[in-house]
Chain A
Amino acid sequence: MRPRHPLHPYWMLAPTLLVIGLFFLYPLCVAAKDSFYRWDLLTEPEYAGFENYTRLARSGELVGVVGRTVTFGLVVVGASTALGLALAILLNRRGRVYAFFRSAIFSAYVVSWVAVALLWMWILDADAGVVSRAFRAVGIPTMNWLGDPRSALYAIAFVTVWKITGYAMVVYLAGLQAIPPTLFEAAALDGAGPMRRFIHVTWPSLRPTTAFVASTGLIMSFQAFDVVRVMTQGGPVRSTTLFVYAIYEEIFVNLRVGRASALVMVFFVILILLTVLNLWAFRAGRRMKEAT
């Protein structure tokens, strides 16, 4: 449509573009620039060239952080996607009981990260936590889940899975309900059992949903912060220092704005790659939907 007045569209967009400019695009430029300085917030910044980047790379910090974040992301995505799908299939039924269970699982996605993290800290407490006590009671050797560098990353991954599986399940439920019932009926007429129906009907129809759930989950897990800050502060021995926490630590604990900004720039590039993946998954999903 033609605008009533040629300037109208610009006025309508002005507040949005202003906020976008001030709080999305301009900060990105500032971060790019700050990444070339040595600055501790309190004294004058000094130009440092590529030092922030080279030091991140040489000290092994970057490799460590990326490695941990990728491990965390893969564990979280793998587990939450598989669990989400399984739960969606099993709970895709009418009835109050099922509705209640669906709500219970999804509610974890809605509740504050702080509450979830504190709650699981208590449950996983090495000494008085209910898990350790139950294990001891039946004689299974227990571990200091959050305090042991071998297990801490997986412990917070577990908590993350607990929180976001509800999301995966809800998206899968929507996907399941979009599958035409006739497909199942046809398969049933052919004498296919539940397993065959899953392999030949459900799974292929849900492949786009899976691609979407997995890539969104990957982005979510790359942005994880609250769970680390509340539960482990990146420890023990930096074993849970994920990407965003590393940035946070550089600026707010170590007061290294430059190095934090350099990490921000690397993080931004990684996010772009992940989003491209996400879009590709989304598009592929669309195409497959149209094809069926």
Chain B
Amino acid sequence: MSDLSRTGPVGRSLRGAVLAIVALLWVGPYLWMTITSLRTLDEIVQAPAYPLPQNPSLDAYREVMTQVPVGRYLVNTLVMALSIATLQILLALPAGYALAKLRFRGRGTAFLLVLACLLIPPQVTFVPVFTMLGPVGLVNTMGALVVPFAVSAFGTFLVRQALLSVPDEIIEAARLDGASELRIVYGILAPLVRPTLAAMFLFSFVYHYSDYFWPLVMTTDDENRTLPLAIALLREQGTGVRWHIVMAGNVILSAPVLAVFAIAQRQIVRAVAQR
């Protein structure tokens, strides 16, 4: 494939060495996390030199489950991430359609507005959004977690780009058949740009499932607490070392995303690399 593929023994052993380092650096930590989560408190306190747990135990997982309502927080997290990913697609389709296919006054301005939002990440807006939503009682609601992300500027841009390559004739034919505009957008155009939408959905889901920043600043109590927040809180003060429990929480937090990643790696990579 690439230029370095036809290499001699030196190249091959270099490659072997790199693979070993890669394994140590990128696979090792996951193993260490899992191994730690199977240890007991005693082993952790004694800071064991031996690599494998002497008496593998699931106590740490039990501890996480009793201390944290994992199920409820996981549902919160999934509801949030799925709503955001779904809303982004539902809103990006008509917006992308208007921007790609329809001629109207202000189209250029509208497009620029969407693009301008790429400049305004949540790290810029969280202070005013928080002070804005606070007095109206919206902080701490699922709405505060979802609605600000209902529009993805980049997603809208991607959908517009994808729709640009759809021939006008398809839309004209649909109009002649009497299909409503909404039906054209969601029923006819959406399937045509499905790869873009799938990539967008997956990327958005994975990103928001893991998000720590926004839920941290927009929730004050545990009603809408998401899993990343709860896992970060596992490292509670007042006790000694409890890394086995924290790592068990880490495994619980990472497993769903790694599963999604294992299944849909291709689409996620596409979403990332397609710029």
Residue numbers of A with Cβ under 8 A of B are 1-4, 6, 8-13, 15-17, 19-20, 23-28, 30-31, 34, 41, 86-87, 89-94, 97, 101, 103-115, 118-123, 125, 127-128, 130, 133, 137, 162, 167, 170-171, 173-174, 176-177, 184, 187-188, 194, 197-198, 201-202, 212, 223, 225-226, 229-230, 244, 247-248, 251-252, 257, 260-261, 264, 267-268, 271-272, 275
Contact = CB atoms under 8 A, between A and B. Distances in A.
Contact of A9 (B102, B118, B274): B102
Contact of A119 (B99, B232, B247): B247
Interface stretch (B53-61, B120-128, B193-201): B120-128
Interface string B237-275: 000010100110110011001100110010011001111
Contacts of A10: 98, 104
Contacts of B110: 13, 17
A267 B272 contact: no
A197 B3 contact: yes
B210 A3 contact: no
Contacts of A26: 128, 132
Contacts of B150: 15, 19
Max chain B Cβ within 10 angstroms of own Cβ: one of A3, A113, A118, A198: A118
Give the 5 A-B CB pairs with smallest separation, nearest first: A112-B210, A27-B128, A30-B128, A12-B94, A128-B47
Nearest to A177: B1
B4 interface: yes
A120 B4 contact: no
B148 interface: yes
Interface string B94-122: 11011101111001001001101111110
B258 A111 contact: yes
Given A1-B171, A12-B94, A19-B91, A225 B123 contact: yes
Contact of A3 (B23, B32, B104, B268): B104
A23 B114 contact: no
B73 interface: no
B219 interface: no
B3 A41 contact: no
A114 B253 CA distance: 9
Interface in B1-45: 1-7, 11, 15, 18-19, 22-23, 25-27, 29-30, 32-33, 36, 44
A119 B33 contact: yes
Contact of A111 (B119, B156, B254): B254
Contact of B123 (A115, A121, A127, A223): A223
Interface in B80-100: 91-92, 94-95, 97-99
B158 interface: no
Contact of A122 (B25, B36, B107): B36
Interface residues of B, number: 99
A170 B272 contact: yes
Given A19-B91, A23-B148, A111-B210, 13 more contacts: A1-B102, A10-B104, A13-B94, A16-B114, A16-B156, A19-B147, A24-B153, A112-B210, A128-B47, A223-B121, A230-B232, A244-B123, A268-B124
Contacts of A198: 3-4
A171 B36 contact: no
Given A12-B181, A112-B212, A114-B228, A31 B124 contact: yes
Max chain B Cβ within 10 angstroms of own Cβ: one of A19, A103, A133, A226: A19
Contacts of A31: 124-125, 127-128
B22 A105 contact: yes
Contacts of B172: 1
B173 interface: no
B231 interface: yes
Contacts of B118: 275
B131 interface: yes
Max chain A Cβ within 10 angstroms of own Cβ: one of B128, B206, B216: B128
B217 interface: yes
A231 to B, nearest CB: 10
Given A93-B2, A173-B273, A271-B119, A260 B156 contact: no
